[in-house]
Structure 1
Amino acid sequence: MASIRARADSGKLFFDFRFQGVRCREQTLLDDSPANRRRLEKVLQRIELEIHQGVFDYSAFFPGSKLAATFAVAGSEAPRETGLGQPTPQVDGPAVISAPPPSAPVPASTTRPTIGAFTETWQLENQVTWRRSYQRTVSDIVTKHLLPRFGARDVGSLLREELLQLRSELAKVKGRKKETLSPRRINAIMNVMSLILAEASDRYKFTSPYYNIKPLRIPKSDVEPFTLAEVQRILDTVREDFRDYYTVRFFTGMRTGEVDGLKWKYVDFERQLILVRETIVLGVVEEDAKTIESVRDIHMSQVVYDALKRQLARSGRLKGFVFCSSTGHALDHNNITKRIWYPLLRHLGLKKRRPYQTRHTAATLWLAAGENPEWIARQMGHTSTEMLFKVYSRYVPNLTRKDGSAFERLLSERFASSAQNVVVEGAHHHV
């Protein structure tokens, strides 16, 4: 099985794989480290894919290797024997590279790389600007949906109808919950394809086939905030060790990754602020928030302040995450949702809703209380107040009864006053 290994004498990493029945070991100058292993594993995945597709060019990856020359002479046939009739020895290839090639160089027969090779280059060039969670998303899309279908193709050979067919077939693919992929997921996959083709077309001077392909319409997501009475029932009933956790969620509007990734160093009791500086995604702490606006300071209400003070007595000694396990590890939100959140809603007879609805609840309660919309937007990490009025305003009338009745009262008072004046003036004229 192909692998990335380290030499016992120098600690340098090398490729170990089989090609045409021959064991190939190609050395690099990279030290053994998790980051370097990840880099080489990506290259190895590309090698295995091309071998499987029958398009692997050994000299493209390892141009200085003696094995590359051997395979070039042998052509498509496996170099089973040397010219003396002896088996080809399984030796380390002499090629030494200072860094893993981001992709296979362009074969001599063409002036453009394959989609798979260019995609590897594109990822390596752009990942420095991506959050780690998005790096994983792109890698997943490329590996599962793009390379198996187009990996061996010339990067400039795709037709628009092939992209439309890809989108059509994605709509039939089963997702994690045995349902077909959502329009949002399909759009994400197609967006990665469009970015790859846009960059390739700019570099290799061809017209990208990705034109006039509109994204699928995404159904409006359900915003189902809890009423204040429901919030009270939840907090009165939930397990004591999670009461403060959900109190903070309900009354700060923090996202799941933000509250789960909150550390004590970002809790300022003196100024009564929660500093959102990090988030946690799939168990990995991201040192930057979701967007620039997500980096914000949230004002603690007295209820939140008291909840965090109580939590400080539980986990403050660990000096890490605010909400964590007894050993100080971050919460697994999927586990908490299944074990705590959904059973609690069932017990209370409340409609099943994602924990993210706690964020929507905070927004609607702030609006209902008459807080300044600009202040609410800052607390939520929104760029403007547009989201508030577009998404949440329809819930406010039911909470505050400000549903046109205030305007009705204004008109009634004004016109009632005018009517009384008319009556009085008429009486004076009559006298």
Structure 2
Amino acid sequence: MASVSVRKESNTLYLDFRYMGRRCREQTNFKNTVANKRRLEKLLVVIEAEIMAGTFRYAKHFPDSKGAHRFAEEELKLHDPKEWSLKQEQQVVPIFEEYVLGWLERHKVAWRKSHIVNIESMINKHYLPYFGGMEISSITRNDLLKFRTALAKVPGRNGRESLSNTRINKIMDPLRRIFEDAAEEFHFITPYIRIKQLKSHKTDVQPFTFEEVNLLLDKVRTDYRDYYLIRFFTGMRTGEIDGLKWKYVDFTKRIIKIRETIVAGEEDITKTESSIRDIHMSQPVYEAFKRVKANTWRFGKFVFCNREGEALNHCNVTKRVWYPMLKRLGIEKRRPYQTRHTAATLWLAAGESPEWIAMQMGHSNTEMLFRVYSRYVPNLTRMDGSAMDKLLAEKLEGRHAV
């Protein structure tokens, strides 16, 4: 469980390790940089090796620490190697707060920034207030069920009386992994058993009709027309278009290279491996990029940016441009993400290959395409059997007419 962590108030690093069955945290003056973190991680390796060998002395590494005085007497008593070994093997099960913060630090290296922010929010807003001071091995299945019931009473977003079942399931899911890891480390049975997900209503996608797309593009603010045109006809995710850089726009091959995204104002890798893709530019999209290039290239690396050259703040744009426009035109309020769904349905309606559409969308296969979007195709084309009638009429040429 030893780790190098960051104290948010000062942005400095501290060591977090166990010694003689107790948790020890030693603050440093080192700022949170990669070089400093590596330096302290090396020190931590030495400390852990000395602890295992029975040669560690607290005052040697931390002479001014309160821990040096606290452990000094005990260290003097433990001259017998067997006694030392027994003392070290004493395993004190931590409280939930202590364990989950260490668990978070160990997993951060494998997660995207957006996921880290999401998990940290769940921990601070929901987990710690409820489980924080409880010994992690003492938490029962009934405690978890009570916690889930408490979540159902938390006010939801946009004035909703409570959190949706979908949101509750997303908050509960990381707890399964936390307790599985803790149970393996401290040798107890995980309490997260026989807890099924709550039934949640499937959220329908709400693509815009071609008539609505034309209306929106006609009435939107001139400086945002090309931004939304490209969104409607490429299917890019919000973070992908807001984080798009000019170096990834290939005018010669007429492709948009999706290699990065922007999440919570920070540049990041794409959502999934299949999200790394090349999107074909239709003629309207190609012309839109040429217009944007003429107007904004001088501001910086991002295709769409503010006057300081920084990437657009999607929350600001949505509240200031998108929603007011929908309200003004009398179009049902929908998230900007529906532009992505619109692109998929328009491609399907145009008769493009499902495999090609899946690649343009960044899906690993066509499963989601058929499951989510195909039911909208009859509303856009005459996919009602008339195509087969036409084929038979052309090929049979009346040979089997009665």
Q: TM-score surpassing 0.5?
A: yes
1:127 deviates by: 0.4
1:14 deviates by: 7.7
> 1:142-193, CA deviations, whole angstroms, 9 ceiling, x for partnerless residues?
1111122212222222111111111111011113434222222211211111
Instruction: Tell whether the 8 Å contact from 1:267 to 1:273 is kept in structure 2 after alignment.
Output: yes
Asked if 1:214 is matched to 2:196, the reply is yes
Q: 2:388 & 2:234 partners in 1: Cα distance?
A: 31
Q: 2:10 & 2:386 partners in 1: Cα distance?
A: 73
Asked if 1:358 is matched to 2:339, the reply is yes
2:232 aligned to 234, 243, 250, which one?
Answer: 250
2:164 aligned to 157, 182, 192, which one?
Answer: 182
- Partner residue, 2:31: 32
- Partner residue, 1:76: none
> 1:282-320, CA deviations, whole angstroms, 9 ceiling, x for partnerless residues?
11111x100111111101111101000100011111231
Residue type at the aligned position of 1:131? R
Note closer, same or farther for the CA distance 1:13–1:397 as it changes in structure 2 (3 Å cut): closer
- Partner residue, 1:259: 241
Unaligned runs of 5+ in 2: 1-6, 16-24, 39-57, 73-86
- 1:95-134 equivalences under 5 Å are 111-134=92-115
Q: 1:358 & 1:3 partners in 2: Cα distance?
A: 38
1:307 aligned to 282, 288, 292, which one?
Answer: 288
Note closer, same or farther for the CA distance 1:4–1:411 as it changes in structure 2 (3 Å cut): closer
Instruction: Tell whether the 8 Å contact from 1:397 to 1:403 is kept in structure 2 after alignment.
Output: yes
- 1:7-406 equivalences under 5 Å are 27-28=27-28, 31-33=30-32, 67-68=66-67, 111-179=92-160, 180-286=162-268, 288-406=269-387
TM-score calculated relative to the size of structure 1: 0.74
Note closer, same or farther for the CA distance 1:336–1:66 as it changes in structure 2 (3 Å cut): closer
Q: 2:26 & 2:358 partners in 1: Cα distance?
A: 55
Residue type at the aligned position of 1:127? K
Note closer, same or farther for the CA distance 1:304–1:5 as it changes in structure 2 (3 Å cut): closer
Q: Secondary structure at the match of 1:293?
A: helix
Note closer, same or farther for the CA distance 1:3–1:197 as it changes in structure 2 (3 Å cut): closer
Q: 2:65 & 2:358 partners in 1: Cα distance?
A: 63
> 1:110-131, CA deviations, whole angstroms, 9 ceiling, x for partnerless residues?
5322222221221111100000
Q: Secondary structure at the match of 2:380?
A: helix
Across the aligned residues of Structure 1 and Structure 2, the Cα RMSD in angstroms comes to 3.1
Instruction: Tell whether the 8 Å contact from 2:299 to 2:305 is kept in structure 1 after alignment.
Output: no
Instruction: Tell whether the 8 Å contact from 1:116 to 1:150 is kept in structure 2 after alignment.
Output: yes
Which one has the largest radius of gyration?
1
Identity across the alignment (%): 50
Q: Which has the higher helix share?
A: 2
Q: 1:192 & 1:309 partners in 2: Cα distance?
A: 45
Q: 2:220 & 2:10 partners in 1: Cα distance?
A: 50
How many pairs does the alignment contain? Answer: 351
1:347 deviates by: 2.1
Note closer, same or farther for the CA distance 1:200–1:414 as it changes in structure 2 (3 Å cut): same
Q: 1:66 & 1:238 partners in 2: Cα distance?
A: 63
Instruction: Tell whether the 8 Å contact from 1:4 to 1:14 is kept in structure 2 after alignment.
Output: no
Residue type at the aligned position of 2:128? L
Q: 1:380 & 1:348 partners in 2: Cα distance?
A: 28
Q: Secondary structure at the match of 2:383?
A: coil
Q: 1:195 & 1:258 partners in 2: Cα distance?
A: 29
Q: 1:315 & 1:35 partners in 2: Cα distance?
A: 34
Unaligned runs of 5+ in 1: 7-11, 16-24, 40-58, 74-105, 423-431
Residue type at the aligned position of 1:344? M
Instruction: Tell whether the 8 Å contact from 2:97 to 2:131 is kept in structure 1 after alignment.
Output: yes
Q: 1:35 & 1:345 partners in 2: Cα distance?
A: 46
